[in-house]
Amino acid sequence: MKNLLNNIKHTDSNNFFLMAGPCAIEGEDMALEIAEKIVKITDKLEIPYIFKGSYRKANRSKGSSFTGIGDEKALKILEKVGKTFDIPTVTDIHESGEAAMAAAYVDVLQIPAFLCRQTDLLLAAAATQKVVNVKKGQFLSAGSMKFAVEKIKETGNDKVILTDRGNTFGYQDLIVDFRGIPEMRSFNVPVVMDCTHSLQQPNQSTGVTGGKPELIETIAKAAIAVGSDGLFIETHPNPQIAKSDGANMLHLDYLEDLLTKLVKIRKAIL
């Protein structure tokens, strides 16, 4: 599986790939439990799988919100997940100085949507020679993401993924323009649809982001139908008690049924 990441490129393979896991690393037992269940599902459905977990959450509405269990502790858990199940892992970074640190533990560095234009951050991630997954900003068109791709590739690192997570619609909602998937694929990079963050309802007066998880299946089906190379899904055994973004995460018990449907759609459009 990890060899796949060394040669990642735009492709029309037989199946989509999956980036999935909890929003944040809450503890070792939880991370291993989630990874084990998803590995069983993806092995069964022959879906290439990358485990996702944030070692730290930097973009929070309130200062009292959960941000993490400690950088090194969380990164070591991500490393253990990767080694235990022989799967690649992805985590997000927020500042240039974090790139080399995180790269020592994970296989893919993710650039958060709000930071996708930060040149120094993109270059630092690219310099690690890891795969770089750039989330499209809620404030940007799909076409403008070509500049993020160019910045990374100009360093000599051509391992780039772009992930759509919707566009700001008013003050407290997001909407997905599915025309963006084929447009970003034209940059000759794999394109992923973030099926959970695209359903967030940010800027709530409570300071806690809301969401519409009942529409995850709708977003995922549409993304596969228009040719998305991969899907990004945050999932948790009990979203109601998750320490971060529980309002828009998919319950882990629902993942296999959803992926089974999506594999059928993928086969139908090839």
What is the CATH number for 120? 3.20.20.70
- If one counts every other C-beta atom within 10 angstroms of the C-beta of residue 213, the result is 20
Residue 59 identity: N
pLDDT of residue 17: 95
Mind listing the pLDDT tens digit for each residue in 117-147? 999 999 999 999 999 999 999 999 999 999 9
Instruction: Read off the tokens for 101.
Output: 């640190």
Q: How far from 33 is each of 91, 186, 197, CA to CA, in Å?
A: 18, 37, 22
Look up the domain containing 75 and give its range: 2-269
User: Which of 140, 166, 159, 230 is closest to 192 using CA atoms?
Assistant: 230
**Calpha distance 233→78 (Å, rounded):** 17
**Sequence-distant (≥ 6) Cβ neighbours of residue 18 within 8 angstroms:** 38, 42, 47, 48, 49, 50, 230, 231, 232, 233, 259
Mind listing the pLDDT tens digit for each residue in 242-259? 777 667 789 999 999 999
Instruction: Read off the tokens for 214.
Output: 């009942």
What number is the average pLDDT over the span 41-69? Answer: 82
Instruction: Read off the tokens for 208.
Output: 């806690």
What number is the average pLDDT over the span 33-61? Answer: 90
Quote the number of domains for the chain: 1
pLDDT of residue 248: 78
Of 5-14, 180-189, 260-269, the poorest mean pLDDT is in 5-14
What number is the average pLDDT over the span 48-56? Answer: 95
pLDDT of residue 8: 46
What number is the average pLDDT over the span 231-252? Answer: 85
pLDDT of residue 10: 39
50 confidence band (pLDDT: 50, 70, 90): very high
Mind listing the pLDDT tens digit for each residue in 184-224? 999 999 999 999 988 877 655 454 556 677 899 999 999 99
User: Which of 151, 89, 153, 159 is closest to 116 using CA atoms?
Assistant: 151
